[in-house]
């Protein structure tokens, strides 16, 4: 294998022979470097351990395999909830949180809440009094929820941790432990930078992403509980670095356990501001490099059933997000209490059923032109794409289908370990092989330079 590098070279010396001296000042922008089998073998053996320690998700995957466990059994699953405005995305977040228990509910981690809130306060301009609550600005509704649940159900419920990344929302109906509004003032961004609503949302996300390493430290600290932390409470810097030293002197069990089951992230309703922005890529990459991450794309079911054009538009958007992030994608057909999601799922499962519905829709709408032909062609292309997608129908208003949603998320998390982690490991090995090949090529060129000078 070969690759191109943009490191400039001096063409006056090529393969040990002198070229035209007048061309000595010319620099070629690219050169081709050959990767030998020894580079691949040496890279995967010599630098694999060091690289694995720097990428937490690779280390977690190795730990899970060493214990014959699944990755989601040793690490919390991060669910990125995305969706168009009006799809019921935020209402779904509230319904998902109600099905979970809050961190520290068992009393083991109750003292850690002050640490999280203090870290968020140091991150920006948030209100001090509101951060004392579990949900920050949106925590009022969540504070009383555990009292409505029975103690037995509360102990059995998985533990969830919620983040709000929508800077423009006024009311959050769920308890957000980390809230972007505590760090970035959306209206102040509009005023100072003279931006519109969408521009202010993107700018707020950009500002927040510059401090997202602190958010990752908080999540790492909350997601895992280490055995050495029980005996040493004075140790403060025990977040990300400790995860690098796991699995040593431990053959039967890991020296840590996960303290969270799910991390829920609510994104802005202007979906393109998150999925197609640099800040969205930074946030998504950071989360997927530390936790098994799943995209939950919320779809407005009544609008899709009413118009095949809307259904096809949502499927195309799901396809674009899937190939941009390469993360497992779950399509959530929301508002199934209004219109059942069986119709949309049938269209995804059967190409013939969709064609019949398209014929009826076009005859009713009276359109048989270019758009109808395009929809038929796209449906044929996406038919193969549907086989890789997980889907579930639910109602965020009534709570029906929430259990099925968690089952589908677990399946998608397993696909993350099989596909995304393996692809990430291949990319790491490829980069290491390129580094070794580039070092070997540089060494040969230096030797040729020395031999030329001596001659």
Burial class (CB in 10 A: 0-12, 13-18, 19+), 159: buried
Relative to beta strand 77-83, strand 160-164 is unpaired
pLDDT at residue 442, as a whole number:
81
Q: How far apart are the first and last CA of the chain?
A: 33
Residue 403 pLDDT exceeds 50:
yes
Please say whether the beta carbons of 402 and 99 come within 8 A: yes
Mean pLDDT of the region 24-51: 53
Burial pattern 432-441, b for ≥16 Cβ within 10 A else e, equals bbbebbbebb
Tell me the CA distances in angstroms from 116 to 153, 216, 218, 259, 449, one per residue in order: 26, 11, 6, 14, 57
Whole-prediction pTM value? 0.74
Max mean pLDDT among 30-34, 239-243, 349-353 falls in: 349-353
Quote the CA–CA distance of 158 and 450 in Å, as a whole number. 65
Give 157-194 pLDDT, tens digit per residue: 899 999 999 999 888 999 999 999 999 999 999 999 99
Mean pLDDT of the region 338-367: 86
Residue 209 pLDDT exceeds 50:
yes
Residue 39 pLDDT exceeds 60:
no
The DSSP bridge partners found for residue 101 are 159
Whole-number average pLDDT of the chain: 77
Report residue 350: phi and psi, to 5°: -125, 120
Report residue 185: phi and psi, to 5°: -90, 110
How many whole angstroms from its chain centre is CA 322?
11
Query: How many Cβ atoms are within 10 Å of 286's Cβ, its own excluded?
Result: 17
Quote the CA–CA distance of 116 and 219 in Å, as a whole number. 9
Helix (H) or strand (E) holding 352: helix 351-365
Give 288-326 pLDDT, tens digit per residue: 999 999 999 999 999 999 888 899 999 999 999 998 999
More confident residue, 338 or 7: 338
HEC string of 159-170? EEEEEECCCCCC
Taken in order 286, 287, 291, 296, the sign of the CA dihedral is negative
How does residue 42 score in pLDDT terms, banded at 50, 70 and 90? low
DSSP string, 220-289: HHHHEEEHHHHH-TT----SHHHHTTTTTT-SSS-SEEES-SEEEEE--SSHHHHHTSHHHHHHHHHHHT
pLDDT at residue 55, as a whole number:
86
Residue 214 pLDDT exceeds 60:
yes
- Judged by DSSP in three states, 307 sits in coil
Q: What percent of the chain has pLDDT over 70?
A: 70
Residue 244 pLDDT exceeds 70:
no
CA nearest neighbour of 79 among 310, 422, 402: 402
């Amino acid at each position: 294998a070969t690759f191109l590098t943009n490191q400039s070279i001096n063409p006056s010396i090529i393969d040990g022979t002198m070229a035209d001296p007048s061309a000595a000042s010319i620099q070629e922008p690219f050169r081709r470097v050959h990767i030998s089998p020894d580079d691949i073998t040496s890279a995967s053996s010599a630098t694999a351990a060091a690289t694995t320690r720097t990428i937490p998700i690779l280390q977690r995957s190795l730990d899970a395999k060493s214990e014959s466990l699944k990755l989601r059994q040793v690490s919390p699953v991060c669910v990125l909830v995305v969706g168009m405005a009006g799809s019921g995305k935020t209402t779904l977040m509230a319904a998902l949180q109600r099905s979970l228990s809050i961190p520290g509910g068992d009393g083991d981690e109750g003292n850690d809440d002050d640490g999280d809130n203090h870290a968020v306060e140091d991150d920006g301009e948030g209100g001090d009094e509101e951060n004392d609550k579990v949900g920050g600005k949106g925590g009022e509704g969540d504070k009383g929820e555990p009292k409505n649940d029975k103690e037995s159900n509360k102990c059995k419920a998985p533990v969830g941790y919620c983040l709000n990344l929508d800077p423009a929302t006024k009311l959050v109906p769920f308890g957000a432990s980390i809230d972007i509004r505590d760090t970035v003032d959306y209206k102040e961004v509009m005023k100072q930078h003279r931006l519109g609503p969408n521009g202010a949302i993107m700018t707020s996300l950009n500002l927040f992403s510059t401090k997202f390493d602190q958010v990752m430290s908080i999540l790492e600290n909350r997601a895992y509980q280490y055995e050495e932390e029980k005996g040493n409470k004075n140790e403060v810097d025990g977040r990300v670095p400790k995860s690098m030293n796991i699995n040593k002197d431990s053959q039967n069990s890991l020296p840590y356990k996960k303290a969270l089951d799910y991390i829920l992230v609510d994104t802005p309703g202007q979906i393109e501001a998150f999925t197609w922005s640099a800040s969205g890529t930074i946030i998504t990459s950071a989360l997927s490099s530390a936790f098994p991450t799943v995209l939950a794309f919320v779809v407005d079911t009544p609008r899709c059933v009413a118009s095949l054009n809307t259904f096809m538009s949502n499927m195309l958007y799901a396809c674009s997000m899937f190939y941009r992030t390469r993360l497992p994608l779950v399509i959530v057909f929301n508002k199934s209490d209004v219109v059942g999601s069986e119709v949309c799922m049938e269209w995804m499962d059967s190409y013939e059923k969709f064609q019949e519905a398209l014929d009826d829709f076009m005859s009713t709408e009276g359109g048989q032109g270019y758009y109808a032909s395009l929809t038929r062609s796209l449906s044929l292309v996406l038919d193969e794409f549907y086989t890789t997608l997980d889907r579930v129908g639910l109602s965020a208003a009534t709570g029906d289908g929430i259990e099925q949603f968690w089952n589908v998320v677990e399946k998608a998390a397993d696909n993350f370990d099989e596909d995304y982690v393996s692809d990430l490991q291949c990319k790491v090995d490829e980069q290491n092989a390129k580094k070794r090949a580039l070092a070997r090529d540089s060494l040969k060129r230096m030797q040729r330079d020395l031999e030329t000078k001596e001659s």
